[in-house]
Amino acid sequence: MPAAFACMLLPGLLPGAHPTGLMRPMGWAFLCVLAALLPFLTRDRTAPFDFLEPIYPLCLYAILLFGYRGIYLLGAGWQFDLPFATSALIVKALILASVGILALQIGYYSGVGERLARQVPLAELLGAGERGYPAIAILVCAAVGVAGIALQAKLRAGSTEADVASMAGTYWAVPAIMPLPLAFIMIVINGEGKRWTASRAMASGSLLVAILGSFAIYQSKAWLLRPFFYLLVAYHYRQKKLTGWKAPAICLLGTLAFCVTNLFKLYYHGFRGNLLSTVSFLESVAGPWRMADLLFSRFYGTDDIAVVLQHVANTHRFWMGSSLAEMLYWFVPRAAWPNKPYTFGIGFAHLFARYTGHENTAFVSLSLFGESYLNFGIVGVVVVGVGFGIVSRAVYVYLVHRAGTKSAIILYAIALLHLMYFLQGSFAGHVGMMAVEVTPMLAMMILTHESEFFKRAAVRRYRMVGA
């Protein structure tokens, strides 16, 4: 069904096509939502429903990025956000997003990802910590994470979120803070099947307070929600599958948590902790559409695709992969290369501002489908979408179905989070962000594995001496 649906939509992207003559613009926005809902509507009702299987979170996220955003633009009026656009251009952006979503589903259900996952041998390292993570690994993660927060505070002194370029040269230190939520989830997951002790509750609570408190330095909503997301994934796969009404309830709770953290960020960083100014600003926001824009302003996938479509139409050329060049040098510290190019999101912000007139925009993420079209046209959207679906399925089968160990599930939680980041884009930048989160986890697994090896060796020597 996704393939047939995509074939029906593709003619709407041809030069000279007028999709608005077939359906009202708002209808195309709801059609984009329908495309993302296909996996829910067509799933096998006799099979268990795993709402954390990648295809479901990815499609829900796509609804926010593209479908909901299209409804907002066409309902509230796009003249402020996209003054250069027409309803026809927004409809083409929605069709392009729908084709990308359907291509993702085609790749996911093709069976290629599952075959790949079952052919790759299971890594011995995935068994690290299955009998419990050693105290040394947890202490190292906690110590490195706390030191990383202190380092971030020093590096970011004088920087502002509005001036993203001023924080260039600080991202090399991000891996140092990532072990903090890992230490938290390791303490919690060590308590599987055991009664909670006062020491475990105090240790996990202290780490959670440190993570939440560090929001004053590391200004990321995902950073605040990350430990709770890890907990959700670990509980779902290691304790009890969340089914029935619990799955949509958790989705609604996650959406509410995102809105709350967005408001807290506005209060703490936007108005420097001034409650009266924050309340006054919220009261000045006129109407439900503008309030929705304030709460969900992060999801602007339809906007960036519209800019890309207009830019390609104006310049008559594709970028042929040049936006991906960052993958070749992202890991080089700016201290070693002072003239290193800024991340693609900063460069795209200038292009975005040229069309929208929003000069104060310092950083703009270009969605996976928008970047694919910018580089390789509609062929790129289809190929990248299919490939992304294959990889998503392979990761799920390999880590959850085949391995299912504590370390594999934590790795899967990290992977699932970054799969959604990749959908939002930009691609090369998130390759780096994924690497800086996966690397500390792999280091912790190696430390745990070596600790277990030496412990087993000591037991064998003890037994030999006793014999």
Residue 465 has pLDDT above 70, yes or no: no
Average pLDDT, the chain: 83
Distances (CA, A) of 154 to 149, 270, 379, 437: 9, 21, 45, 21
pLDDT score at 343: 80
Q: Per-residue DSSP letters for 429-442?
A: HHHHHHHHHHHHHH
Q: Report how far residue 363's alpha carbon sits from residue 420's, in angstroms, rounded to the nearest whole number.
A: 18
- The interaxial angle of helices 69-76 and 25-42, nearest 10 deg, is 160
Side chain identity, residue 209:
V
The mean-pLDDT minimum among 65-74, 100-109, 142-151, 396-405 falls in: 142-151
Mean pLDDT comparison of 29-38, 237-246, 324-333, highest-scoring range: 29-38
What is the chain's alpha carbon radius of gyration, rounded to the nearest angstrom?
23
CB-based contact 21:100 (threshold 8 Å)? no
pLDDT score at 390: 97
pLDDT score at 162: 47
Give per-residue pLDDT as tens, 156-180: 665 555 445 555 556 666 777 888 8
Q: Report how far residue 141's alpha carbon sits from residue 146's, in angstroms, rounded to the nearest whole number.
A: 9
Q: Report how far residue 251's alpha carbon sits from residue 248's, in angstroms, rounded to the nearest whole number.
A: 5
Q: At 222, phi and psi to the nearest 5?
A: -65, -30
Q: pTM of the entire structure?
A: 0.88
Share of the chain above pLDDT 70, in %: 86
Dmax over CA atoms of the chain, in Å, equals 87
Residue 431 has pLDDT above 80, yes or no: yes
Q: Report how far residue 316's alpha carbon sits from residue 311's, in angstroms, rounded to the nearest whole number.
A: 8
Residue 233 has pLDDT above 70, yes or no: yes
Tokens at 395, concatenated: 């990761």
pLDDT score at 44: 84
Q: Report how far residue 420's alpha carbon sits from residue 63's, in angstroms, rounded to the nearest whole number.
A: 12
Half-sphere exposure of 400 (CA within 13 A, CB side): 23
Per the model's pLDDT, the better-predicted residue between 172 and 189 turns out to be: 189
Tokens at 57, concatenated: 């979170």
pLDDT score at 136: 85
CB-based contact 178:432 (threshold 8 Å)? no
CB-based contact 304:366 (threshold 8 Å)? yes
The mean-pLDDT minimum among 293-302, 336-345, 403-412 falls in: 293-302
The residue to which tokens 């085609």 are assigned: 106
Distant-in-sequence, close-in-space partners of 13: CB < 8 Å, separation ≥ 6:
92, 95, 96, 99, 378
Q: Could you tell me which of 106, 111, 115, 114 has the C-alpha nearest to residue 38? A: 106
Q: Per-residue DSSP letters for 231-283?
A: HHHHHHHHT----TTHHHHHHHHHHHHHHHHHHHHIIIIISTT-HHHHHHHHH
Q: Report how far residue 26's alpha carbon sits from residue 104's, in angstroms, rounded to the nearest whole number.
A: 23
Tokens at 309, concatenated: 């479509």
CB-based contact 325:109 (threshold 8 Å)? no
